[in-house]
Structure 1
Amino acid sequence: MQKPFLTVDGLSKAYGNFIAVSGVSLDVGRGEFFSLLGPSGCGKSTLLRMIAGFENPTAGSVLLDGADVTALPPEKRPTNMMFQSYALFPHLSVAKNIIFGLVQERLPKAEIAVRLSDVAEKLQLGTLLERKPSQLSGGQRQRAALARALVKRPKVLLLDEPLGALDKNLRAETQDELVRLQKELGLTFIIVTHDQQEAMTVSSRIAIMQAGRVLQVGSPETVYEAPTSRYIAKFLGEANIFEVASAISDQGLASVVLTGFEGRYRARLPAGTSTVGPLWLSVRPERVELVRNGEGVPGIVEDITYTGAQRRYRLRLATNATLDAVKVNSGGEDFQIGEAVAAGWAGEAAHLLAE
Structure 2
Amino acid sequence: MTFLKIEHLQFRLGDWQLQVCLRAERGDCIALIGPSGAGKSTLLSLIAGFDRPDDGGIFVQEQRIDSLAPAVRPVTMMFQENNLFNHLTIYQNIALGCHPGLKLTDDDYELIEGALKATQLGALRSRKPADVSGGERQRAALARCVCQKRPLLLLDEPFTGLDPRLRAEMHDLVDALRKDHSLTVIVVSHLPGEIARIADTLAFMHAGTIQEHGPTEATLTDPKSSDLREYLRFTASG
1:106–1:129 Cα change, 3 Å: closer
Residue 63 of structure 2 corresponds to residue 34 of structure 1: no
Contact 2:95 2:102 in 1 (8 A): no
Write the deviation string for residues 214-234 of structure 1: whole angstroms up to 9, x where unpaired.
Answer: 010001122123211222112
Please report how far the alpha carbon of residue 237 of structure 1 lies from its aligned counterpart in structure 2 after TM superposition: 4.3
Q: 1:201 aligns with which of 197, 204, 207?
A: 197
Aligned partner of residue 201 in structure 1, secondary structure:
coil
What pairs up with 1:199-238 in 2 under 5 angstroms? 199-237=195-233
Write the deviation string for residues 75-107 of structure 1: whole angstroms up to 9, x where unpaired.
Answer: 111111111111111111111111124332775
Contact 1:196 1:237 in 2 (8 A): no
Please report how far the alpha carbon of residue 178 of structure 1 lies from its aligned counterpart in structure 2 after TM superposition: 2.0
TM-score by length of 2: 0.93
C-alpha separation between the residues in 1 aligned to 2:167 and 2:104? 36
Write the deviation string for residues 1-45 of structure 1: whole angstroms up to 9, x where unpaired.
Answer: xx32000111121123332x2x20000111101111111111100
Structure 1 gap segments, 5+ residues each: 240-284, 286-355
What pairs up with 1:128-147 in 2 under 5 angstroms? 128-147=124-143
C-alpha separation between the residues in 2 aligned to 1:28 and 1:46? 18
Residue 181 of structure 2 corresponds to residue 185 of structure 1: yes
Aligned to 1:162: 158
Write the deviation string for residues 131-176 of structure 1: whole angstroms up to 9, x where unpaired.
Answer: 1111111111110000011101111111110211101221122222
Sequence identity percentage: 37
Aligned partner of residue 178 in structure 2, secondary structure:
helix
C-alpha separation between the residues in 2 aligned to 1:86 and 1:72? 24
C-alpha separation between the residues in 1 aligned to 2:233 and 2:53? 32
Aligned to 1:12: 10
Q: 2:119 aligns with which of 115, 120, 123?
A: 123
1:199–1:41 Cα change, 3 Å: same
Contact 1:36 1:193 in 2 (8 A): yes
1:76–1:109 Cα change, 3 Å: same
C-alpha separation between the residues in 1 aligned to 2:225 and 2:234? 13
Write the deviation string for residues 200-222 of structure 1: whole angstroms up to 9, x where unpaired.
Answer: 22200010001111010001122
Q: 2:52 aligns with which of 52, 56, 70?
A: 56
Q: Which amino acid aligns with 2:7?
A: D
Q: Which amino acid aligns with 1:11?
A: L
Q: Which amino acid aligns with 1:189?
A: V
Please report how far the alpha carbon of residue 114 of structure 1 lies from its aligned counterpart in structure 2 after TM superposition: 1.9
C-alpha separation between the residues in 2 aligned to 1:27 and 1:105? 35
Q: 2:77 aligns with which of 66, 70, 81?
A: 81
Q: Which amino acid aligns with 1:194?
A: H
* Structure with larger RCO (C-alpha < 8 A, sep 6+): 2
Q: Which amino acid aligns with 1:188?
A: T
What pairs up with 1:272-311 in 2 under 5 angstroms? none
C-alpha separation between the residues in 1 aligned to 2:31 and 2:115? 24
Residue 146 of structure 2 corresponds to residue 150 of structure 1: yes
Contact 1:52 1:79 in 2 (8 A): yes
Write the deviation string for residues 245-270 of structure 1: whole angstroms up to 9, x where unpaired.
Answer: xxxxxxxxxxxxxxxxxxxxxxxxxx
Write the deviation string for residues 172-200 of structure 1: whole angstroms up to 9, x where unpaired.
Answer: 22222222222232211111111111232
Structure 2 gap segments, 5+ residues each: none
Contact 1:199 1:206 in 2 (8 A): no
Aligned to 1:307: none
Aligned partner of residue 127 in structure 1, secondary structure:
helix
Q: Which amino acid aligns with 2:165?
A: N
**Counting strand residues as a fraction of each chain, which structure ranks higher?**
1
Q: How much is the aligned-residue C-alpha RMSD, in angstroms?
A: 1.9
Aligned partner of residue 236 in structure 1, secondary structure:
helix
C-alpha separation between the residues in 2 aligned to 1:103 and 1:181? 20
